[in-house]
Amino acid sequence: MLTPLLHYIDEVDARYSDDELLIFLPEFVPAHWWEHLLHNQTGLILRTALMFGKGKTVISVPYKFER
């Protein structure tokens, strides 16, 4: 899932190379500490992969799921 997304982001970045690329990542905020273990860490992996790219800004948008 991450590889195609990273390729797409690179394509968009190349197409608009003179512009700053903003990437918004929604992040689930668990209610309890142990819920971190249950949820996928894809956002963390994606943010880490994008952190070293020039011209890219990663913005994390936390949200809480109300039960």
26 by DSSP, 3-state: which?
A: strand
Quick one: pLDDT at residue 6?
Answer: 92
State the Cα–Cα distance between residues 41 and 44, nearest whole angstrom.
5
- pTM of this prediction? 0.74
Quick one: pLDDT at residue 21?
Answer: 92
Quick one: pLDDT at residue 35?
Answer: 83
Residue ranges in the chain modelled with pLDDT below 70: 67
Length of the chain: 67
Domain ranges of the chain: 2-63
Quick one: pLDDT at residue 65?
Answer: 75
